[in-house]
Structure formats: structure tokens, C-alpha cells
């Protein structure tokens, strides 16, 4: 196993839990601790500068602001790219709900930027099988949700000449399935118990699922795309909750003769109520969905967004807002692109000259615009487009 000190994990478990299915913490999530526990690296400014240099474009706002903050061997991807070797991107979505929330958009917005900046192919896995196993949804329902979610993903602007979207129920088989079995043979029940916390009471569907999410990391799982390119490297953008899957994948890869995938990992877009978990689709009042109306967005922000503002206007003017815990400010760091404007808000609100109502108004405008733009793009996605993105086909100019 890669560095993952089990004893530390146990001790920290009581303080904060981060798995693909649960993110909870007594206080603010401690991302430094998470990096230590999981054994990944911090994304330092020199790597971000390298990205800017290699792509000849400014770093994405999620890189500049530290939203993507951790990685595994991203430097290796950049080394190879510098020598003229390309790579491919792999990300995914578990279709458990009709609508995505803003947290889900983060890896997709970032992946779109990576695809444009590096001009590389992308595979997107829709784990309809995973959500059928975990959420107790019927097969047909998760298949339907996968297609609905694909529309939101396509609306993020992916290039159809470089992107293959697939659902597990439709695509698993052939070379992909052979890789799943190769991976499965390398993992014992004790290991998945250690990595994912599975217990003997869990049904075997859960226990046998991890290879399904592992193998898109290997180019040979996609013969229609990467035949003859067995050494093509893979980069996975995701939030850090997915790390356990890929810790396992990286551990197994060399044992079956494959390259380890690299990762670039984000922190969580927090729930409206505060920074102790991730925005979750299962609690409607904790999340802003891409389907929310302008009125919903305004109401949710005004009613639920945890404020670092002080109890009275006098105290607020005197002490300023506590930006460390303030959700409207945190949300703006994700979605307000303009660095100068963000700095201005930081100064004004942090010193008490700006009031909570004002920053909430500003956030409402930013998010309403974002959601309206997304809805417009989604409305333009037809069923025929979904079929086209999901067709098993070569992508002839994927590296150009």
C-alpha cells in the first residue's frame, strides 16, 4: 500500500471522516491532515507556474485560489508533457440525483479547462451501477439519471471530438471487464475493509465495485480510443473524497503491468450551513442545485448561508466579519473570477465596512448568473447529442 498510516487514520477518524460516501468533521475539515492521512502531495505554486508556462495561458481560478490543492504525481504528467508526451483525462459522476449541485460542477469545470489547455482526450465514467448498489435505486432509474446528468456534464462545454462519456451498465465488458478482473484478483477483503471501511455485513455488490472505478485509469480499457497506446498516462481530476479508489488503483497498477494514474484533487465546496462537510445532494437545504430558480438561490443564501458577520451592526463595524467561517465569502472564492473584486470584498467585509446582507447580495448575483448560464447551455443539449458523446467510436483528432 502507498503511505497511509492506518493508526493515524483511526485516530483522525473520530475527528473527520472522508470517504467516497461520507464527508463529516467536528470542526472545519483539516486538509493538511487529510494530505498526511491519504499520502498525497500538496500542489505548490511552482507546479501552478509550470502549468501556466506549458499551456501558455493563465492558471484556472481553481488553481490560483487553491481549490485544487493536492495531487499524486501531477509533476510526472507535466515532465512527460514537456517532453512531448500527451496524456488523457479521466473523471466521473455517480448519478444519484436528477440535478447536480454546484459542488459537482467543480471537477467538470476544471476538467474542461485542462482539456482545452493541454488539448488531450477525456473519458467520463457515469457509475450508474455504483448508485444502484449504494442508494438502492432500480437499475433503470440510475440509467435514466445517468443520461440526465450527462446533459449537465455536456453543458459544461466539453469538446465532442475529444470526449467519450460512458455509463457502466452500457459499456462494461470486453477489454474493460478483463482489466476489472485483473484488478480484482489483486485485492483482498481485508484491503477493501482498510481502504473503504466495508464490513462482512455489506453486500458483495459493494465489495466488488472498486475495480469498476479503477480501470478507466488504464488506456487498454478503451480499445476504440487507445489501441497501441498502452503507455499513455492518465490524469484524474476529482475532489479528494474519491482518493481511496485511486490509492487502491495506484497500488495495484504496477502489479498488473500498468502505469499508475496521476491525480489532481480539490477541496470540497461546503454546505450552506458551514465548512464541516461537503455540499450534499441528499439535503436540499444544504445545497444550491443547477436547477434552482433565481428566487430559490436568493432564499437559500439569505436563510441558510452561515455568516461570519457579527451579532449587531455596531459590533460588526467594530470587529469586522470572521472570514474564516463565512460561507458567502468562501463561495465567492470559488466562483467570483475577478481577483481585484474579491480582494476588495475581503478588505471591506473583513473590516466591517461591508455588511452580511451586502455580501449575500453579491453572492446571489454571482451564483444566479452562473446557474442561468448553465441552464441555457443545458437546454441546448439534445438527446441526439447525448447519444453522440456516448457512442463507442474513435476520436480521430483527440491529441490535436
Interface contacts to ligand TYM, rule CB under 6 A: 20, 90-94, 103-104, 106-107, 125, 127, 130, 213, 236, 238-239, 241-242, 266, 268-269, 278-279
Closest alpha carbon to 62 in 270, 272, 264: 264
Q: What's the closest the beta carbon of residue 243 comes to ligand TYM, in angstroms?
A: 9
* Rounded-to-10 torsion of CA 41, 216, 140, 142: 10
Question: Which residues are CB-contacts of 333 (< 8 A; sequence separation ≥ 6)?
Answer: 65, 67, 342
Of 288 and 355, CB closest to ligand TYM: 288
Of 103 and 352, CB closest to ligand TYM: 103
Q: What's the closest the beta carbon of residue 241 comes to ligand TYM, in angstroms?
A: 5
Q: How far is C-alpha 213 from the geometric centre of its chain's CA atoms?
A: 14
Of 309 and 326, CB closest to ligand TYM: 326
Residue 38, SS3 per DSSP: helix
Of 209 and 349, CB closest to ligand TYM: 209
Q: What's the closest the beta carbon of residue 142 comes to ligand TYM, in angstroms?
A: 11
> Which single residue brings its beta carbon nearest to ligand TYM?
94
Q: What's the closest the beta carbon of residue 144 comes to ligand TYM, in angstroms?
A: 15
Q: What's the closest the beta carbon of residue 317 comes to ligand TYM, in angstroms?
A: 33
* Radius of gyration, CA atoms only, the chain: 21
Of 289 and 349, CB closest to ligand TYM: 289
Q: What's the closest the beta carbon of residue 360 comes to ligand TYM, in angstroms?
A: 20
Q: Are 208 and 184 in contact (CB under 8 A)?
A: yes
Question: Which residues are CB-contacts of 41 (< 8 A; sequence separation ≥ 6)?
Answer: 35, 70, 71, 72
Of 107 and 211, CB closest to ligand TYM: 107
Q: Are 240 and 269 in contact (CB under 8 A)?
A: no
Q: How far is CA 293 from CA 246, 290, 304, 340, in A?
A: 36, 9, 16, 28
Q: Count Cβ neighbours within 10 Å for each residue of 348-387 and write b for 16 or more, e otherwise.
A: bbbebebbbeebbebbbebbbebbeebbeebeebeeeebe
Of 149 and 320, CB closest to ligand TYM: 149
Q: Are 35 and 66 in contact (CB under 8 A)?
A: no
Q: What's the closest the beta carbon of residue 103 comes to ligand TYM, in angstroms?
A: 3
| DSSP code of residue 253 | G
Of 132 and 345, CB closest to ligand TYM: 132
Residue 255 and residue 41: Cα distance in Å, rounded? 23
Of 73 and 130, CB closest to ligand TYM: 130
Q: What's the closest the beta carbon of residue 198 comes to ligand TYM, in angstroms?
A: 15
Q: What's the closest the beta carbon of residue 20 comes to ligand TYM, in angstroms?
A: 6
CB atoms within 10 A of CB 56: 7
Amino acid at each position: 500500500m502507498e503511505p497511509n498510516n492506518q493508526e493515524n487514520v483511526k485516530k483522525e477518524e473520530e475527528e473527520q471522516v472522508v470517504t467516497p460516501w461520507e464527508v463529516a468533521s467536528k470542526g472545519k475539515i483539516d486538509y493538511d491532515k487529510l494530505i498526511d492521512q491519504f499520502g498525497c502531495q500538496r500542489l505548490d505554486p511552482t507546479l501552478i507556474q509550470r502549468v501556466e508556462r506549458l499551456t501558455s495561458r493563465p492558471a484556472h481560478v481553481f488553481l490560483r485560489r487553491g481549490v485544487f490543492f493536492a495531487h499524486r504525481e501531477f509533476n510526472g504528467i507535466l515532465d512527460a508533457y514537456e517532453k512531448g508526451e500527451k496524456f488523457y483525462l479521466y473523471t466521473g459522476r455517480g448519478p444519484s440525483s436528477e440535478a447536480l449541485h454546484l459542488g459537482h460542477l467543480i471537477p467538470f469545470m476544471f476538467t474542461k479547462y485542462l482539456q482545452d489547455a493541454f488539448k488531450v482526450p477525456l473519458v467520463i465514467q457515469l457509475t450508474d451501477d455504483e448508485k444502484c448498489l449504494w442508494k438502492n435505486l432500480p437499475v433503470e432509474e440510475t440509467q435514466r439519471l445517468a443520461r440526465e446528468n450527462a446533459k449537465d456534464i455536456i453543458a459544461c462545454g466539453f469538446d465532442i471530438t475529444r470526449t467519450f462519456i460512458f455509463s457502466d451498465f452500457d459499456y462494461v465488458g470486453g477489454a474493460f471487464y478483463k482489466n476489472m478482473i485483473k484488478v480484482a484478483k489483486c485485492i483482498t477483503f481485508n484491503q477493501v475493509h482498510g481502504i473503504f471501511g466495508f464490513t462482512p455485513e455489506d453486500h458483495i455488490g459493494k465489495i466488488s465495485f472498486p475495480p469498476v472505478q479503477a480501470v478507466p485509469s488504464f488506456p487498454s480499457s478503451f480499445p476504440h480510443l487507445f489501441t497501441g497506446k498502452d503507455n499513455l498516462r492518465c490524469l484524474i481530476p476529482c475532489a479528494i473524497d474519491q482518493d481511496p479508489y485511486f490509492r487502491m488503483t495506484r497500488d495495484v497498477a504496477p502489479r498488473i503491468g500498468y502505469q499508475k494514474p496521476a491525480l489532481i484533487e480539490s477541496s470540497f465546496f461546503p454546505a450552506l450551513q458551514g465548512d464541516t462537510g461537503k455540499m450534499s445532494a441528499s439535503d436540499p437545504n444544504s445545497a444550491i442545485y443547477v436547477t434552482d430558480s433565481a428566487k430559490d438561490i436568493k432564499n437559500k443564501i439569505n436563510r441558510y448561508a452561515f455568516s461570519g458577520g457579527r451579532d449587531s451592526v455596531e459590533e460588526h463595524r467594530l470587529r469586522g466579519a470572521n472570514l474564516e467561517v463565512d460561507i458567502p465569502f468562501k463561495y465567492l472564492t470559488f466562483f467570483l473570477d475577478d481577483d481585484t473584486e474579491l480582494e476588495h470584498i475581503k478588505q471591506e467585509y473583513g473590516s466591517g465596512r461591508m455588511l452580511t446582507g451586502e455580501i449575500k447580495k453579491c453572492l446571489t448575483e454571482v451564483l444566479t448568473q452562473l446557474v442561468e448560464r448553465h441552464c441555457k447551455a443545458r437546454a441546448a443539449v439534445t438527446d441526439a447529442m447525448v447519444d453522440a458523446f456516448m457512442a463507442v467510436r474513435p476520436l480521430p483528432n483527440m491529441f490535436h
